Amino acid sequence: MEFKEYIEKFLNRFSNEIGIDLGTANTLVYVRNKGIVVNEPSVVAVNQKTGQVVAIGTAAKEMLGRTPQHITAIRPLVDGVISDFEVTEEMLAYLMKRAGEFLPKKLLGPRVVVGIPAGVTNVEARAVRDATRNAGARQVYIVEQPMAGAIGIRLPIHEPVGSMIVDIGGGTTDIAVISLGGIVRSKSLRVAGDKLNADIISYIRNEFKILIGETTAEQVKIAVGAVVPGNPIETTIRGRDLITGLPREVVITDSDIREAMGQSISVLIDATREVLETTPPEILADIMRRGMYLVGGGALIKGLDELLSHTFKLPVTVVDEPLTAIARGAGIILEDIDRYRSVLIHSEDDLSANQ
Ligand SMILES: Nc1ncnc2c1ncn2[C@@H]1O[C@H](COP(=O)(O)OP(=O)(O)OP(=O)(O)O)[C@@H](O)[C@H]1O
Ligand SMILES: [Mg+2]
């Protein structure tokens, strides 16, 4: 065992270290001394005739809903987990190669810290590890995303004090309570940014008889979505009239979007309540005092902090740059893997223990 560790340490000299937030909506790559060097939408455009990858990241996202028949823009992760293994692998290989341009040349593949949603199955976690390995990593360390987020925003995770973090991404919302280097309570739900986009699409179809695409729905959500009423905001959107089949414009207000998102926002609030209700009293007291931290793109939904704070009577902080918190956490971990070893899930045994 000791000999194995010695060999490991020796080999590490020939590897770079990189941190990856492999998200449903965005994938970010962190490298030592440089910070986040790659930040791209998790989208890959594939030519169905040849099977070849046509574009990855921003270029592929621009094609979503606009591709000719033989090209499809794929989001290889759905609900926080890999749905298309080969495409995920290609995307990772490409993004790792891009990050490699910021690193010294090394003989061996990099050691990679990668985040997975809390509470995913053994099989799902293994898929992330295998895809990262196949994309060229020599060694893969897996960390649960809420833990990476907590580290990224520098919460005192190793101390005997409870912290609460809510990561609202594209595919999943992870709600977690952390103390003494471990996740004490957590809940992961498949209600996050993508679901809100879908809610907006179906609301506009039902109320205005207009069909809009995912990209438009996301733009509307960001521009006029607010979960508590404030100054009225409106925007004009274009879609296809379901009756005539022709393009039509309508004006959408913040109150439309609030109604569209209402159901999903209540699901999110209820899940947060469940986590709080099962948190041990001492830790709950810490959280009531220190509050809840919001990370992920969904943290930017207007009024969400106010709504949570009002509902649970505790302080709510939207962290600075919420979309990069997980990747920054992966970066902090890779810079001191020994210190964070206890929060990593890196062996077969750990993966099955997580089941
Ligand atoms: N200003 C904003 N207001 C509301 N939602 C936003 C805003 N900015 C980004 N988002 C949403 O945040 C989501 C992306 O967040 P993020 O990059 O954290 O997700 P992810 O990490 O890729 O997904 P996951 O963690 O679920 O795998 C998208 O659904 C996007 O629409
Ligand atoms: Mg995420």
pLDDT tens-digit series, residues 277-320:
999 999 999 999 999 999 999 999 999 999 999 999 999 999 99
The SS3 assignment for 252 reads strand
Predicted TM-score of the model (pTM): 0.93
* Confidence class for position 66, pLDDT limits 50, 70, 90: confident
- Ligand 1 atom nearest to 302, measured from its CA: 3
**Quick one: angle between helices 193-208 and 254-277, nearest 10?**
140
Predicted confidence at residue 354, as pLDDT, reads 43
Ligand 2 centroid–CA 167 distance in Å is 7
The SS3 assignment for 111 reads strand
Ligand 1 pocket test target in 28, 195, 222, 295 with most atoms within 8 Å of CB: 222
- Ligand 1 atom nearest to 169, measured from its CA: 19
The answer to whether 170 and 194 have CB atoms below 8 angstroms apart is yes
Ligand 1 pocket test target in 301, 319, 321 with most atoms within 8 Å of CB: 301
CA distance 161 to 276: 15
The ligand whose atoms approach the alpha carbon of 329 most closely is 2
pLDDT at 353 over 50: no
Phi-psi region of 64 (alpha: psi -120 to 50; beta: other; left: phi over 0): beta
> Does an H or E element contain 304, and which?
helix 304-312
Where b means 16+ CB within 10 Å and e means fewer, 157-185 reads bbeebbbbbbbbbbbbbbbbbbbeeebbb
115 lines ligand 1 (CB under 6 A): no
Q: Residue ranges of the alpha helices (H) in 175-280?
A: 193-208, 214-224, 254-277
- Per DSSP, 28 falls in state E
User: Nearest residue CA, atom 11 of ligand 1?
Assistant: 297
Ligand 1 centroid–CA 265 distance in Å is 15
**Tell me: the pLDDT tens digits for 101-149?**
999 898 899 999 999 888 888 899 999 999 999 999 999 999 999 999 9
298 lines ligand 1 (CB under 6 A): yes
* Confidence class for position 355, pLDDT limits 50, 70, 90: very low
pLDDT at 351 over 90: no
Contacts of 156 (CB under 8 A, 6+ apart): 163
Query: Measuring CA to CA, how many Å separate 69 from each of 47, 216, 225, 294?
Result: 9, 20, 32, 40
Phi-psi region of 314 (alpha: psi -120 to 50; beta: other; left: phi over 0): beta
Ligand 1 centroid–CA 297 distance in Å is 3
172 lines ligand 1 (CB under 6 A): yes
Predicted confidence at residue 154, as pLDDT, reads 96
- Ligand 1 atom nearest to 25, measured from its CA: 22
CA distance 281 to 276: 10
Predicted confidence at residue 7, as pLDDT, reads 85
Ligand 2 centroid–CA 117 distance in Å is 8
297 lines ligand 1 (CB under 6 A): yes
Ligand 2 centroid–CA 240 distance in Å is 32
Give me the residue label for tokens 């000999």. Answer: 3
Q: 33-37, 207-211, 273-277: which has the minimum mean pLDDT? A: 33-37
Catalogue all structural domains in the chain, each as residue range(s) with its CATH number: 2-148+325-353 (3.30.420.40), 161-191+263-322 (3.30.420.40), 194-260 (3.90.640.10)
301 lines ligand 1 (CB under 6 A): yes
Predicted confidence at residue 350, as pLDDT, reads 53
pLDDT at 346 over 70: no
